Amino acid sequence: MNNYRGANPFSVQTPEEISAVDVKQLFVDVFSDFFNIEKGSHTFLHGHRGSGKSMMFRAMEPDCQMLARNMPLRELPYYAVYVPIKLTDLNLVEFNRLGENEFADFVLNEHSMTIFMAAKAVSSLLKIVNDKYDMDEAVNGAVSAFYHDSFVKLLKRGGWVVPENTPETPSKTSDHFRKMQESLDEIYAQTSGYLRRVSFSKEAVPYAGVLVGYLDFLLPMIKDLKRLPFMPSGPVFLMVDDADNLSPSQTLILNSWVSYRTTADLSLKISTQMNYKTYRTANGQRIDAPHDYSDVNIQAVYTSDKDKYPKRVKEIVKRRLDMLQISATPEQFFPEDEEQEAKIRKVYDEKKSQWPDSGKGYRATDDAYRYARPEYMKSLLGTSKNFSTYRYAGFDQLVHISSGVIRYFLETASLMYGEQRASGTDLIKAIPPAIQNKVIREWSDAAMFSEFEKIERDEESETGGTGPDGNLGKLQKLRNLITALGGLFHELLVSDLAERRVFSFALSDTPSDELKQILDLGIRYGYFHESTIGNKEGTGRTKLYILSRRLAPHFKLDPTGFSGYKFMTNMALIEAMRKPGSLLRRAKRAGLGNDLSDAQGDLFTDG
């Protein structure tokens, strides 16, 4: 994106594709929100896909840090190595053949992970090393000593035999690191080759290759790397991105590494997409926060502090507009529908003037703010059925609809920008409300249709379709539950109740295993966010499940401002998973505002 002119300022790129210059231009420093990420401790960073985890990791890499802090490498507070875990990286299916020999499974998995991460560290250094280092004799001497006295020695201890056809020992720093990279790649290839040979044999195939691990290779190698004259004095961070993609055995091994107290030299920064498999180690012990690691949940931070996320989005949009020398503010670039907002302000003024006689809140302005938009939306549901004329437009509404996931905002903004350019407009100064509304409605509908279909294709064996016994699959139950809640929340919005903006529910009794599985699935795919509230008895706290506001246009909901919650029973939610219409029918029979959460398995109560 270095050539900004003519570019779509909201296009989403993978972190590996973004240059350090672009990171400095585009990245908004969020580490004040998530301060543990840059601390010298093991840290888990949880967030839905697109919530900014990978971009944070990219910004922590040394080339970005040197630019952002305007200091040389050796003065940085840490050295961060990006380790993306893709499905094809470490999950060789041939590991399954070792399942009968649990010890061999763990040993080979740890070896593969160790070599893989060591290779990422060397690759990172290769990107940093340049002619300046190659021309420095002291640096070349130190790197040469590291190569012979640490790298080669540690590998030999693990059974490595230096190939006979090895060319002459390199003399330059970059050549040394290149040689290390080649050696690690070759060892990894040999291990992969062995695993593939195992798959063609019914008999046990002895492994005669190199075997190294975290404590006997990776940690001492990193300690010795830190002594190089150009390296920072702080810890090395291994930033393991998308650790959900690790196999169960690899997850146990990574947790074992977390349990080691190595953070002064080597800290693990582990990101997940809300589907980390276990927090147990290879020997069955559980790692716990805050003793072994710190825990950061992006959605929890942004849910608990309503001002942080809009502020961050505003900063991100401003930087991207500046990139194209567009002088508009985010609010000017994504304007509201003026005619619609004028009508809502009129309702606001009426509610404010009526407060002394019929107000429901403590202040007139509270009442006016809480009810103006719902009343206007309700007015569109008259005999003409023209609710479709409501426009989801304006920067504030778009921020709320993105539901704490920055990629949601950028993806839709990119689509809006592209649609405006397709209309023949060369110099775009703002996105018309009609285009904002069109794109956001289509995108919201896609969350309930094409997105579900894609998930079904990707995970059919686990969650999709109908089971062999005729029971609904997990994904269909999730879709039914979301449909039921969306329909109920819409009816509450257009009712005459005191609390109409409802996006959340909490359980008034203990969830069954079946319900918990479906709710966890919804969290995993970003249809629900999780928080906590005080329980009904006032004796503690219980989980609160928040429907993603991405679905507001699909269900004709108001995404803005304060929202309430309902207590619901396990029985009612289980029934809704099977028959989504049942939730709304039961609510209407009993009266939307009545207390219906009791021991008989009734529906919900106001929170």
Distance CA 435, CA 333 (A): 12
Whether pLDDT at 361 is above 70 = no
Residue-wise pLDDT tens digits, 75-126: 999 999 999 998 666 766 666 666 566 678 899 999 999 999 999 999 999 9
Q: Cβ atoms within 10 A of the Cβ of 406, count? A: 23
Angle, vertex CA 536, rays to CA 530 and CA 537, nearest 5: 130
DSSP assignment of 405-444 equals -HHHHHHHHHHHHHHHHHTT-SS-----HHHHHHHHHHHH
Q: Which long-range contacts (CB under 8 A, 24 or more apart) does 386-390 make?
A: 387/556, 390/340, 390/556
Nearest CA to 546 out of 55, 56, 48, 30 is that of 48
Instruction: Please state whether beta strands 528-534 and 564-568 pair in parallel, antiparallel, or not at all (unpaired).
Output: unpaired
Residue ranges with strand state E in 234-362 = 236-241, 266-272, 294-297
- Rg of the chain over all Cα atoms, to the nearest angstrom: 28
235-249 in b/e burial notation, b at 16+ Cβ within 10 A?
A: bbbbbbbbbbbbbeb
Residue 348 pLDDT exceeds 80: yes
| CA dihedral of 417, 420, 424, 428, whole degrees rounded to 10 | -60
Residues 117-168: pLDDT tens digits?
999 999 999 999 887 888 889 999 999 999 999 999 999 999 998 877 666 6
State which amino acid sits at residue 139: V
Asked if residue 278 lies in contact with residue 255, where contact means CB atoms within 8 angstroms, the answer is yes
- In this structure, what DSSP letter does residue 353 have? H
Which pLDDT tens digit goes with each residue over 502-511?
Answer: 899 988 888 9
Task: Return the closest-CA partner of residue 256 out of 245, 270, 242.
Answer: 270
Q: What tens digit of pLDDT does each residue of 407-425 get?
A: 999 999 999 999 999 988 7
Return the structure tokens found at 534. 């005080």
Residue 2 has a pLDDT of 46
Give 366-370 contacts, CB < 8 A, sequence gap 24+: 369/561, 370/500, 370/501, 370/561, 370/562
Dihedral sign from CA coordinates of 106, 110, 116, 120:
positive
Spatial neighbors of 65 by CB under 8 A, at least 6 apart, are 59, 76, 80
Q: Are 317 and 329 contacting, i.e. CB atoms less than 8 angstroms apart?
A: no
**Dist CA 259 CA 175 (whole Å):** 35
3-class SS of residue 543:
strand
428/333 Cα distance (integer angstroms) = 9
Task: Report the C-alpha gap between 177 and 167 in whole angstroms.
Answer: 14
Q: What is the pairing mode between strands 79-84 and 236-241?
A: parallel
Pick from 73-77, 362-366, 500-504 the range whose average pLDDT is largest.
73-77
Place of tokens 């991100």: 316
The terminus-to-terminus CA distance of the chain in angstroms comes to 48
Q: How far is CA 519 from CA 253, 478, 525, 526, 570, in A?
A: 28, 8, 10, 11, 12
Looking at residue 6, what DSSP letter applies?
T
Q: Give dist(CA 106, CA 248) in Å, integer.
A: 10
Is residue 24 within 8 A of residue 67, CB to CB? The reply is yes
* Cβ-based neighbour number of residue 115 at 10 Å: 25
Q: How far apart are CA 270 and CA 44, in angstroms?
A: 5
Using DSSP, state whether 529 is helix, strand or coil. strand
pLDDT at 98: 62
For the residues 47-74, what does the mean pLDDT come to? 94
The answer to whether the beta carbons of residues 225 and 121 sit under 8 Å apart is: yes
Higher pLDDT, 266 or 538: 266
Cis peptide bond N-terminal to 290, omega within 30: yes
Averaged pLDDT score across all residues of the chain = 87
Residue found by looking up tokens 């800290």 in the block: 267
Residue 226's contacts (CB-CB under 8 Å, 6 or more residues apart) are 79, 232, 233, 236, 265
Read off the pLDDT of each residue in 4-12 and give the average, rounded to a whole number.
79
Q: Rounded to whole angstroms, how far apart are CA atoms 406 and 316?
A: 9
Q: Is 383 helix (H, G, I), strand (E, B) or coil?
A: coil
Cβ neighbour number for residue 420 with a 10 Å cutoff: 18
Tokens coding 217: 């290779």
* pLDDT computed for residue 37 by the predictor: 93
The Cα diameter of the chain in Å comes to 94
List the chain domain ranges. 31-304, 467-607
Q: Does the structure show a pLDDT above 50 at 604?
A: no
DSSP-derived pairing of the beta strands 564-568 and 502-507? parallel
pLDDT at 302: 80
40: closest CA among 82, 77, 66, 71? 77
**Which of 101-110, 230-239, 266-275, 297-306 bottoms out in mean pLDDT, i.e. has the lowest?**
297-306
CA dist., res. 591 & res. 600, Å (int): 17
Tell me if residue 324 falls in helix, strand or coil: coil
Residue, of 549 and 456, whose pLDDT is higher: 549
pLDDT in tens, 426-453: 789 999 999 999 999 999 999 999 998 8
Q: Residue 37's closest CA among 324, 259, 267?
A: 267
pLDDT in tens, 527-580: 999 888 877 767 778 889 999 999 999 999 999 876 788 888 899 999 999 999
* Mean pLDDT computed over 467-476: 67
- Give, as one character, the DSSP assignment of residue 394: S
Q: What is the pLDDT of residue 606?
A: 42
pLDDT for residue 412: 97
CA–CA separation, 603 and 596 (whole Å): 5
> Is residue 547 a contact partner of residue 444, using CB atoms and an 8 Å limit?
no
- Going by C-alpha positions, the residue among 141, 165, 142, 162 that lies closest to residue 152 is 162
Q: Which residue has the tokens 């969350």?
A: 447
Q: Are strands 604-606 and 564-568 parallel, antiparallel or unpaired?
A: antiparallel
